Amino acid sequence: MAGFLIRTFGCQFNELYSATIADALTRGGLRSSESLGEASLIIINTCAVREKAEEKAFSFLGEAAKAVGAGHIVFMGCTATLDKERAVRIAGRGLNVVDGTAGAEQVLALIGTMVPLGEPDCVAPRSLFPTANIELMRGCESYCTYCIVPRSRGPEVVVDGGEILRRAEQAVGSGFSELLFLGQNINRYRSNRGGLVEIMSSVDQLDGNFWFWFLSPHPANFTPEEVRRLMELRHIEHRVHLPLQSGSDRILGRMNRRYTIADYARLAEPVRENTDWTLTTDIIVGFPGETDDDFAHTVDAVREFRFDGVFLAKYSDRPGTPSSSMQDKVPSALIDERHSALLRIVQNLSEQSNQVLAGRCVDVLVLAAQVGGNAFGRSIDGRNVWFSCSEPAPGIGSFVKVAVDHGSREGLYGARAC
Ligand code: 5AD
Ligand code: SF4
């Protein structure tokens, strides 16, 4: 049996596309392989958001080109749109490059001409079970000045509301426990069934035992009233991820984020008022022109909003973005220094947030279980949970209650309660 290998970089969109392709290949009779030497089809699904991910993809492409022999390599995703020439220089003219705006469909059409392919799952890829990733929209037109996505993924394309409800219903009906709705700026979703809140309210009406969540909102297109309405839904997870990016209004302006810290505080208020909900964010340190004072504002904001989790990134210059031609770049040593300082604060906040739950009982979605009594899952408010349980171990995708013994900056530790 021929083998295939998929290497995925980046976001949940890429995870979804890779899993869709992997499922179709497996159904076609190919075997998934971890070893470059064994695979006759290698698919590299790339991310261009930061330079590091891009360099890793190119270096993996180099290894793949040496190993693949007479087989095929497919280079897809954001970097495939942006730097096809470099990819071809590394891997030669035989390389198959599929534009990053094309999702999984075009890759499936291409590899269907090379190898046998089963029908892709029209609900959600089984290999992501128990989570069904469902696209609400793809592409982005928000044009944050540091971000390559509007160029690599192209303009917004919205999935019809009826189609989303149909996919959600089928996913729940076929046993998925969690629905994850995706959009680059999901607050711009509009369809014949309304915007984000309306479509999420319709999903909430579906019968079944499931949780759902969505990524990523944009503070400029979200209102506190909408946040409150979403928080009232029965099946929604108790967490909001709201990318802040910087704590300085001046830097937010240069980033073209179109909100101020005061606007953000109004949005965060309903979440912070409710101690059963968590608030997480993305922060970029070292955006061009960021002064010590701007950075101090970011530190203050992180402390003030008491984020339960922060995805902290060092600013990465992306060729072709507006910020890449800004003159006042922050030296990389200073970016490193600010990053380390903020990381310590962020880790302390995560630890405190998790420690508060010691002695409490939390609802957990089971993601992995071992024979012998150890399991792993995610709490309804988005925390990692490691717990012991007696045999038989709970099934992946089931919901359990865990009595929390203690918390660390990584998550919670406890024992199954019932
Ligand atoms: N440099 C650093 N981080 C970036 N992000 C997007 N573009 C860049 C960049 N050029 C981060 C933002 C965004 C997350 C998905 O990636 O914080 O929210
Ligand atoms: Fe990039 Fe901004 Fe679009 Fe997010 S909203 S993908 S950060 S341009």
Q: Indicate which CATH number applies to the domain containing 65.
A: 3.40.50.2300
On the 0-12 / 13-18 / 19+ scale of CB atoms within 10 A, 223 is middle
Residue 118 lies in a domain: no
Domain shared by 101 and 11, yes or no: yes
Which atom of ligand 2 is closest in space to residue 218's alpha carbon?
5
Domain containing 36 equals: 3-111
Helical spans, DSSP H, in 274-331: 292-305
Q: Which strand (E) or helix (H) includes residue 16?
A: helix 12-27
Is residue 120 a part of any domain in this protein?
no
Residue with tokens 């944009």: 218
Whether residue 322 has a cis bond before it, omega within 30° of 0: no
Same structural domain for residues 161 and 96? Answer: no
Residues 250, 291, single domain; the answer is yes
Residue 371: what pLDDT?
Answer: 80
Q: Is 400 in the pocket of ligand 2 (CB under 6 A)?
A: no
- DSSP track, 24-79: HHHHTT-EE-S-GGGEEEEEEEE--SSHHHHHHHHHHHHHHHHH-TTSEEEEEEHH
Query: Which residues form the pocket of ligand 1, taking CB atoms under 6 Å from any ligand atom?
Result: 49-50, 146-147, 243, 245, 282, 284, 313, 315-316, 318
Distance, CA of 266 to CA of 286 (rounded, Å): 26
Q: What is residue 1's predicted lDDT score, i.e. its pLDDT?
A: 57
Q: What is the pTM of this model?
A: 0.96
Per-residue confidence (pLDDT) for residue 101, from 0 to 100 = 83
- CATH assignment of the domain containing 375: 2.40.50.110
399 and 306 inside one domain:
no
What's the pLDDT at 306?
A: 98
**33 with 71: CB under 8 angstroms?**
no
| Contact predicate 200/230, CB 8 Å | yes
Decide: 199 in ligand 2 pocket, CB within 6 A: no
Based on the fold, state whether residues 208 and 138 are members of the same structural domain.
yes
How many CA within 13 A on the CB side of residue 106?
Answer: 14
Distant-in-sequence, close-in-space partners of 334: CB < 8 Å, separation ≥ 6: 286
Domain end (from 211, 236, 261): 236
The reported pLDDT for the residue numbered 418 is 59
Ligand nearest to the CA of 310: 1
Q: Are residues 339 and 311 in the same domain?
A: yes
If residue 375 lies in a helix (H) or strand (E), which one and from where to where? strand 374-379
- Can you give the pLDDT at residue 69? 79
Is 51 inside any structural domain? Answer: yes
Is residue 121 in a domain? no
Task: Indicate which atom in ligand 1 lies nearest the CA of residue 243.
Answer: 18
Picking from 363, 347, 367, 371, the residue whose alpha carbon sits closest to that of residue 416 is 363
The CA distance from 284 to 2, in Å, is: 43
Q: How far apart are CA 315 and CA 67, in angstroms?
A: 34
Q: For residue 96, is it within any domain?
A: yes
Residue 380 belongs to a domain: yes
Structural domain includes residue 124: no
- Paired tokens of 158: 């919205």
Q: Which of 334, 355, 376 is the last residue of a domain?
A: 355
Longest dimension (CA), the chain: 62
Candidate of 138, 147, 254 to mutate for ligand 2, largest count of ligand atoms within 8 Å of Cβ: 147
- Answer whether 125's CB lies under 8 Å from 134's CB: no
pLDDT of residue 237: 98
- Asked whether 393 and 370 are in contact (CB, 8 A), the reply is yes
Q: Hey, which of 145, 284, 311, 316 would you mutate to test ligand 1's pocket, going by the most ligand atoms within 8 Å of its Cβ?
A: 284
CA distance linking residue 25 with residue 43, whole number of Å: 11
Segment 247-291, tens digit of pLDDT: 999 999 999 999 999 999 999 999 999 999 999 999 999 999 999
* CATH number for the domain harbouring residue 292: 3.30.750.200
Q: Which residues of the chain have pLDDT under 50?
A: none
Which residue from 264, 266, 262, 269 is spatially nearest to 282, judged by alpha carbons? 264
Decide which of 202, 236, 270 is a domain's last residue: 236
Distance (Å, whole) CA 301 – CA 349: 12
Residue nearest to atom 16 of ligand 1 (CA): 49
**pLDDT recorded at residue 2:** 78
CATH of the domain at 156: 3.30.750.210
How many domains is the chain built from? 4
